[in-house]
Amino acid sequence: MNKLIKAFTKDSAVVPFIAIVLGLLVGAVIMLIGGYDPLLAYRSLLDKVFGNPYDFGETLTAITPLVFTGLSVAFAFRTGLFNIGAEGQYIMGMTGATIIGVSLHLPWYIHAPLAVIVGALFGGCWGMIAGYLKAARGVNEVITTIMLNWIALHLANYIVNDYLLEPGKGRSYMVDPSADVTIGWLSRTLDDARIHWGMFFALLAVIFFYVFLWKTKQGYELRVVGHNPDAAKYAGINVNRGVVKAMFISGTLAGLAGVFQVLGVFLNQAVTASPTGHGFDGIAVALLGGNTPVGVLLGAILFGTLSYGAAGMSFGADVPPEIIRIVIGSVIFFVAAPGIIRWTIKRVFGKKRKGEVI
Amino acid sequence: MEQARTVVEMRNITKRFPGIVANDNANFKLSKGEIHALLGENGAGKSTLMNILFGLYQPEEGEIFVNEQQVVIDGPNKAIKLGIGMVHQHFKLVHPFTVTENIILGSEPKKWMGLAVDKKTAYETVGNLSKQYGLNVDPYAKIDEISVGMQQRVEILKTLYRGADILIFDEPTAVLTPQEISELLIIMRNLVNQGKSIILITHKLKEIMAIADMVTIIRRGKIIDSLPVSGTNPNQLAEKMVGREVSLKLNKKDAVLGEPVLEVDRLVVKGRQGLNALNETSFVLKRGEILGIAGVEGNGQSELIEALTGLRPVSGGSIKVNQVEIAGETARNISEAGISLIPEDRHKHGLVLDFPVRENMVLETYYQPQFNKNGFMDYDAIDKHAERLVKEFDVRTPTIMTEARALSGGNQQKAIIAREIDKNPDILIAAQPTRGLDVGAIEFIHKRLVEQRNSGKAVLLVSYELEEILQLSDRIVVIYEGRIVGDVKPSETNDQELGLMMTDYKQPQGGLNIEQTD
Amino acid sequence: MDVATLGNMLNTAFVFSTALILAALGGIISERSGVVNIGLEGLMIAGAFAAAVSAFHAQEAGYGAWSPWVGLLAGALFGVLFALIHAVATISFRADQVVSGIVINFIAAGSTLYLVKLLFEGSGETSLVDEVFHKVKIPILSDIPIIGEGIFNAYPTTYLALILVGVIYYGLYKTAFGLRLRSVGEHPSAADTVGIKVLRMRYTAVLLSGVLAGLGGATIAMTTTGTFSHNTISGQGFIALAAVIFGKWNPLGALGAALFFGFAQSINNVLQLFEFAANVPSEFIYMLPYVLTILVLVGAVGRSKAPGALGEPYFQGKR
């Protein structure tokens, strides 16, 4: 029990918590300035999420891809890489799943797994490009992954437009039912909310993340590479291979987010002019979750809930739902600059702990 | 000398950092036209004192007088205004810029009502200054293109350009070759002759004896003594610096030599610039022997260590461990073959600072069957292993789950030594194993290295500190520009002779003849 | 293809490029001081939003042809406002510069749409501004074949952007300010020891990048769209970032890169003119800036070296 309390009073848990509170406060202040009632708005948000089975189910649907992309970014962070490319890997995951889902017709027990695997591999390989460029040419992954996001966007549009387009629809053909991973009976209990197997895979991914990084030999190697590549070389670990492997796994996780959006939610892939935002949300989730598996899960639940519930705010309190983007942005901002929080605490409580540095 | 005016006086300076008192009621006085050495061990507080004088830190207590006026130096700008300049140990130079751009930075000559830098004037001024003080620097060269010695001269020019009369040199010889050192000492003399005053921060007794007029000794933040160099000797200075009689002798019995365990034959290794850092280097290390590699930093030592541990490709020659060729093998295979390394930079290469002690203890052995099964780490076994090492090697850590970062430097080094010795290597390479540690930790480490040798293993000691080499080694080879230029027994040599070899005695202008040039 | 068409293409390229040039200049100044700015997109969004809103109000208030100028000014100011967030977070509180940039993009997109809905009664788009910029022919010069039509018959903002390229190039390489700014980005502690105020320089640079990227966003609202909505700015900030890198952190290089990327964007409109290009899917044209940037980084198209201390926060008094 004592240990539990300690875990929640550590900096690592306090900072995100205060960040969330401050983020919600920033949102409230902005709503007040805009002449809205923030309490009513936040209540409407919760009403929306927990108000009826359908919306609750849809909230779960909104949370799922965030778990995957959050884990993707967190995994890369743990191995010393900043994967801004979860967005592109997500898009490639969608594309892989769509290609298989649309163009083949197989028994479901082959078709669905194949679509999942191919989509995941698409995402993984897309991540691996940045890993390879870093390992082989020393190119910083931040810029390459940003660029790869946009390349993925246009590449996916090209594939959908030129090969998979259902005439006159602005999207691909629908995924063959044999590749569909929705859970019909569960959906029906939740008033046809789009519930799919990806949710369980997301939980499995959380467990995988923990076990792989902290219990396996390969995980140990990747963590050494991430924290100190020079020491890794001395220890006989192949750093370049580690970087490529880490980006592949990270990309696979992000790819899975896209895979299940296609096979479990949309059942098609649309042509889009701008990024979906799931990859960027993944960065937010990872940062909020302190790059720990449980933290990522909690972060995804929070951001998924906020994002889905935002629609309720506009319905119940007439607040433009974009306010939630400001809230989420502020939360990450405070998490990323914990100095601001410490500075604030100091102002508010007025006492300075010894040796404290902002 | 007695007539000289006092240009700097620091009175009762106290500076505290969290946990330590860096300067404790320190007094320091510099006279015009003298070279005044500030001597102390690592962490004794000499750099802190000088950073206060240069305005980088503010003292909690004390007063500073410059030219007999009391002053408050609240930043480098103020120090510069008062005519104080600092030649930093780690050069503060912008590499893509030219020499002149670096020198004028922050005090640029301007034209067109300040709208443009007057480059012509700038280059002329720098060229003239360089000539005036015999520095021989090309104002148009980019920093990237000039040698370390030249870069230091640019640092000197930076202070002169700003009109400094008082120059602080922070460990100026640490990165220089012997030739560069002797040239630097001439330059310093030259500066003093032209009316400048110099403070020389150092822990090298030899330099003090060679160049300084006065020496002030600082230990654990306190000023111990201040006296003319002519009235002292190295032994006395060493004693004052460390605080007790320093015996250069270590109790160790005679070496019992066995079979050759490491044979390096005509090894060629390329350095960072693609030039040969090792040039047909050959030596043999036997069981029961500590072989010291003496040399000035940058003469191929790092490349030798990296080649021996599989971190740098070998372009020619051979490395045999127990008669088996290992040149070009991977780091892991070499480790398996029996070579362990205590790396020079323990933070960069030796530890993963964010990892707990237990995970650091298996950094090179985690893959072995005793620590993992079917791809999963066996943390029970790892914990037992770590607990044992922590106990055996007296690593002071709260628990084995404590992050390595939280340990003191000495205990971090002990943890590394525990890990490396426990691998039971035939050859233990110790690179600068005691750098930056206090005397207690140094003694512990030296003892362990001797034990290793006594048990019939071999130790290869690479150090830039001659004292350490002389004290520990059974045999010494001297490395110069990637070649072995000497092979001697410590009992049959002294630091004078070694120093000459390290600077390649075939060249007459060795670093130790500097007194005669004055 | 005739001469008039070529001039036309050049003209269109300049229209697309203007915003890229301005934002890329902002990116260069910020990154030259050592602060990564992947928030250019967000700063452009802020600029475009402020320009559309204030120009609309200026027009309603009867400012007439001055309205777009009011818009530009407001765009610059709003850009500075968001840049200030980036500066405080990264320079004073040493937040990760990449994360902060992402946050800027995030918050800029969210808050501007929030404000649009607030100010325009729930609509997702600002009201159309009629008083936008019009192309201005420069006498004599515009009579030169091809480039006359291509360059000297452009929006005032294009001329402004070109002038700023010169000003910033001069500022960076010929003035004491530029020397100091670059030194802060290459080796901040070197700058510190010669008395340059590192943090103040970085603040200045980041705020200037807000001005420029804000102007960049504003030009889009004040020339091509006349309104602001969620897709007024979609990716231009990242293309500008690509131009910074492709142009090797040099204003002239970035000008070239921005023109090239602008040309690639506009090429779609005139693609049918080329027989060989008729079969190239437009998506590949859109990818071009990003692919080229990666190639530059890999070293396949010349080397590009980032400022030495890019991305590193600076602690004063740290040795």
Which domains, and CATH codes, for chain B? 6-242 (3.40.50.300), 248-338+425-518 (3.40.50.300), 348-423 (no CATH)
Instruction: Say how far apart CA B243 and CA B250 lie, in whole Å.
Output: 18
| C129 pLDDT above the threshold of 60 | yes
What is the band of B183 on the pLDDT scale with cuts at 50, 70, 90? confident
Sequence letter at residue A30: I
pLDDT digits (tens, 9 = 90+) for C221-236: 999 888 999 889 988 9
Mean pLDDT of C97-103: 92
> Residue C102 domain-assigned?
yes
| C111 pLDDT above the threshold of 90 | yes
C179 touches chain A (CB under 8 A): no
pLDDT at residue B439 in the model: 65
The β-bridge partners of B488 are B476
pLDDT digits (tens, 9 = 90+) for A136-174: 888 888 889 999 999 999 999 999 999 999 998 889 999
What is the band of B32 on the pLDDT scale with cuts at 50, 70, 90? very high
Q: What totals of helices (H) and strands (E) does chain B contain, helices first?
A: 17, 24
Using a CB-CB cut-off of 8 Å, the residues of chain C touching B110 are 176
Per DSSP, the three-state class of B5 is: coil
Instruction: Choose the closest CB to C174 out of B57, B93, B116.
Output: B116
User: Which of C167, C181, C184, C187 would best serve as a mutation to test chain B binding (most B beta carbons within 10 A)?
Assistant: C187
Say which range, A290-304, A315-329, B247-261, C227-241, has the weakest mean pLDDT.
B247-261
> Residue C316 domain-assigned?
no
Mean pLDDT of C184-200: 92
Count of structural domains, chain C: 1
DSSP output for B280-348: EEEEEEETT-EEEEE--TTSSHHHHHHHHTTSS---EEEEEETTEE-TT--HHHHHHHTEEEE-S-III
> Could you tell me whether strands B197-202 and B166-170 are parallel, antiparallel, or unpaired per DSSP bridges?
parallel
- In A34-52, which residue ranges form alpha helices assigned H by DSSP? 38-50
Do C294 and A283 make contact, defined as CB atoms within 8 angstroms?
A: no
Do A217 and B354 make contact, defined as CB atoms within 8 angstroms?
A: no
Using a CB-CB cut-off of 8 Å, the residues of chain C touching B75 are 195
Instruction: Choose the closest CB to C93 out of A84, A142, A337.
Output: A337
Please state, for a pLDDT cut of 70, what percent of chain B lies above it: 93
| B265 pLDDT above the threshold of 90 | yes
Q: Which two tokens stand for residue C314?
A: 């600076």
The angle that helices C3-32 and C176-186 make with each other, rounded to 10 degrees, is: 70
Mean pLDDT of B267-278: 86
pLDDT digits (tens, 9 = 90+) for A27-47: 999 999 988 999 999 999 999
> Residue C312 domain-assigned?
no
Do A330 and C281 make contact, defined as CB atoms within 8 angstroms?
A: no
> Residue C116 domain-assigned?
yes
> Could you tell me whether strands B61-66 and B6-17 are parallel, antiparallel, or unpaired per DSSP bridges?
antiparallel
Taking the CB of residue B49, how many other CB atoms lie within 10 A of it?
A: 28
What is the band of B517 on the pLDDT scale with cuts at 50, 70, 90? very low
How far is the alpha carbon of B83 from chain C, nearest alpha carbon, in Å? Answer: 13
pLDDT digits (tens, 9 = 90+) for A277-294: 888 889 999 999 989 999
| A231 pLDDT above the threshold of 80 | yes
Domain that holds residue C9: 3-133+140-298
Do B106 and C186 make contact, defined as CB atoms within 8 angstroms?
A: no
What's phi and psi for B361, nearest 5 deg?
-75, -15
Q: Which of A295, A206, A208 is nearest to A12 (CA)?
A: A295
Using a CB-CB cut-off of 8 Å, the residues of chain A touching C99 are 283, 287, 332, 336
Mean pLDDT of A1-19: 65
User: Which of B349, B405, B419 would best serve as a mutation to test chain A binding (most A beta carbons within 10 A)?
Assistant: B349
Sequence letter at residue A235: A
What is the band of A5 on the pLDDT scale with cuts at 50, 70, 90? low
pLDDT at residue B493 in the model: 84
pLDDT at residue B508 in the model: 40
Sequence letter at residue B459: V
Residue position matching structure tokens 């270590």: B250
Sequence letter at residue B450: V
Instruction: Say how far apart CA C265 and CA A41 lie, in whole Å.
Output: 42
The angle that helices C198-220 and C3-32 make with each other, rounded to 10 degrees, is: 150
Do A224 and B376 make contact, defined as CB atoms within 8 angstroms?
A: no
pLDDT at residue A140 in the model: 84
What is the band of C71 on the pLDDT scale with cuts at 50, 70, 90? very high
pLDDT at residue A12 in the model: 67
| B512 pLDDT above the threshold of 70 | no
How far is the alpha carbon of A339 from chain C, nearest alpha carbon, in Å? Answer: 5
3-state helix, strand, coil in chain B (%, to 5): 35, 25, 40
pLDDT at residue B249 in the model: 56
> Which chains have at least 3 CB atom pairs separated by less than 8 Å from chain B?
A, C
With beta carbons less than 8 A apart as the criterion, state whether B6 and B166 touch. no
Most confident of C109-123, C275-289, C295-309: C109-123
Q: Which two tokens stand for residue B509?
A: 């202008």
Mean pLDDT of B432-445: 79
Higher pLDDT, A191 or B506: A191
Higher pLDDT, A78 or B238: A78
What is the band of A352 on the pLDDT scale with cuts at 50, 70, 90? very low
pLDDT at residue C277 in the model: 59
| C65 pLDDT above the threshold of 80 | yes
CATH number of the domain at C8, please. Answer: 1.10.3470
Mean pLDDT of B134-163: 92
Instruction: Say how far apart CA C231 and CA C228 lie, in whole Å.
Output: 8
| B82 pLDDT above the threshold of 80 | yes
| A356 pLDDT above the threshold of 70 | no
> Could you tell me whether strands B69-71 and B61-66 are parallel, antiparallel, or unpaired per DSSP bridges?
antiparallel
pLDDT at residue A341 in the model: 79
Q: Which of A330, A307, A289 is nearest to A13 (CA)?
A: A289
Query: What Cα–Cα distance (Å) separates residue C119 from each residue in A158, A310, B374, C113, C251?
Result: 37, 19, 63, 10, 37
What is the band of B516 on the pLDDT scale with cuts at 50, 70, 90? very low
> Residue C311 domain-assigned?
no
Instruction: Say how far apart CA B207 and CA B202 lie, in whole Å.
Output: 8
Q: Which of A151, A162, A178, A145 is nearest to A269 (CA)?
A: A162
- Residue environment code for C19-36, b if the CB has 16+ CB neighbours within 10 A, otherwise e: bbbbbbbbbbbbbbbbbb
Q: What totals of helices (H) and strands (E) does chain C contain, helices first?
A: 12, 2
What is the band of C89 on the pLDDT scale with cuts at 50, 70, 90? very high
pLDDT at residue B45 in the model: 86
Using a CB-CB cut-off of 8 Å, the residues of chain A touching B359 are 220
pLDDT at residue C9 in the model: 78
Q: Identify the H or E element spanning B215.
A: strand B214-219
Distance of CA B258 to the CA centre of its chain: 33
DSSP output for A197-227: THHHHHHHHHHHHHHHHHHBHHHHHHHHHHH
pLDDT digits (tens, 9 = 90+) for C16-28: 899 999 999 999 9
| C104 pLDDT above the threshold of 70 | yes
Do B331 and A234 make contact, defined as CB atoms within 8 angstroms?
A: yes
Q: Identify the H or E element spanning B110.
A: strand B110-111
Mean pLDDT of chain B: 88
How far is the alpha carbon of B505 from chain A, nearest alpha carbon, in Å? Answer: 36
Higher pLDDT, B163 or C297: B163
Mean pLDDT of A94-106: 94
**In this prediction, does ipTM exceed 0.90?**
no
Do B95 and C191 make contact, defined as CB atoms within 8 angstroms?
A: no
Gap between the terminal Cα atoms of chain B: 16
Using a CB-CB cut-off of 8 Å, the residues of chain B touching C183 are 94, 97, 105
Burial of B399 (0-12, 13-18, 19+ CB in 10 A): exposed
Per DSSP, the three-state class of B486 is: strand
How far is the alpha carbon of C106 from chain A, nearest alpha carbon, in Å? Answer: 6
Instruction: Say how far apart CA B307 and CA B329 lie, in whole Å.
Output: 10
What's phi and psi for A145, nearest 5 deg?
-70, -35
Q: Which two tokens stand for residue C74?
A: 């407001």
Most confident of A198-212, B203-217, B468-482, C291-305: A198-212
> Which chains have at least 3 CB atom pairs separated by less than 8 Å from chain C?
A, B
B80 touches chain C (CB under 8 A): yes
Residue B474 exposure: Cα atoms within 13 Å on the Cβ side: 21
Using a CB-CB cut-off of 8 Å, the residues of chain A touching C229 are none
pLDDT at residue B487 in the model: 92
DSSP C65: G
pLDDT at residue B376 in the model: 95
How far is the alpha carbon of B161 from chain C, nearest alpha carbon, in Å? Answer: 11
DSSP output for B367-424: TSTTTEETTEE-HHHHHHHHHHHHHHTT---S-TTSBGGGS-HHHHHHHHHHHHHHT-
Q: What residues have CB less than 8 Å from B272, skipping those under 6 apart? A: none
Do B366 and A355 make contact, defined as CB atoms within 8 angstroms?
A: no
The β-bridge partners of B476 are B292, B488
With beta carbons less than 8 A apart as the criterion, state whether C86 and C39 touch. yes
Instruction: Say how far apart CA C35 and CA C101 lie, in whole Å.
Output: 10
> Residue C236 domain-assigned?
yes
Instruction: Say how far apart CA C167 and CA B278 lie, in whole Å.
Output: 51
| C4 pLDDT above the threshold of 80 | no
Do A217 and B366 make contact, defined as CB atoms within 8 angstroms?
A: yes
Instruction: Say how far apart CA B463 and CA B483 lie, in whole Å.
Output: 16
What is the band of B518 on the pLDDT scale with cuts at 50, 70, 90? very low
Q: Between vectors from CA A283 to CA A145 and to CA C312, what angle results, nearest 5°? A: 70
Mean pLDDT of A263-270: 94
Do A234 and B359 make contact, defined as CB atoms within 8 angstroms?
A: no
Using a CB-CB cut-off of 8 Å, the residues of chain B touching C193 are 76, 86, 88, 92
pLDDT digits (tens, 9 = 90+) for A103-123: 998 999 999 999 999 999 999
pLDDT at residue A2 in the model: 52
Instruction: Say how far apart CA B202 and CA B46 lie, in whole Å.
Output: 9
> Could you tell me whether strands B316-321 and B61-66 are parallel, antiparallel, or unpaired per DSSP bridges?
unpaired
Instruction: Say how far apart CA C153 and CA C4 lie, in whole Å.
Output: 13
In residues, how long is chain B? 518
What's phi and psi for C78, nearest 5 deg?
-65, -35
With beta carbons less than 8 A apart as the criterion, state whether A56 and A186 touch. no
What is the band of B34 on the pLDDT scale with cuts at 50, 70, 90? very high
C32 touches chain B (CB under 8 A): no
pLDDT at residue C301 in the model: 55
Q: Is B81 left (phi over 0), alpha (psi -120 to 50) or beta?
A: alpha
Residue C282 exposure: Cα atoms within 13 Å on the Cβ side: 11
Instruction: Say how far apart CA C24 and CA B500 lie, in whole Å.
Output: 57
pLDDT digits (tens, 9 = 90+) for C233-275: 988 999 899 899 889 899 999 999 999 888 877 766 655 556 5
Instruction: Choose the closest CB to C235 out of A140, A155, A274.
Output: A274
Using a CB-CB cut-off of 8 Å, the residues of chain C touching B77 are 195
- In chain A, which residue ranges form alpha helices assigned H by DSSP? 2-9, 11-33, 38-50, 53-78, 86-103, 108-137, 141-159, 184-189, 198-215, 217-227, 229-234, 239-260, 278-288, 293-317, 323-336, 338-349
The β-bridge partners of B116 are B111
Instruction: Choose the closest CB to C297 out of A139, A283, A324.
Output: A139
Q: Which of C224, C217, C243, C262 is nearest to C71 (CA)?
A: C217
- Whole-model pTM: value is 0.85
How far is the alpha carbon of B343 from chain A, nearest alpha carbon, in Å? Answer: 9
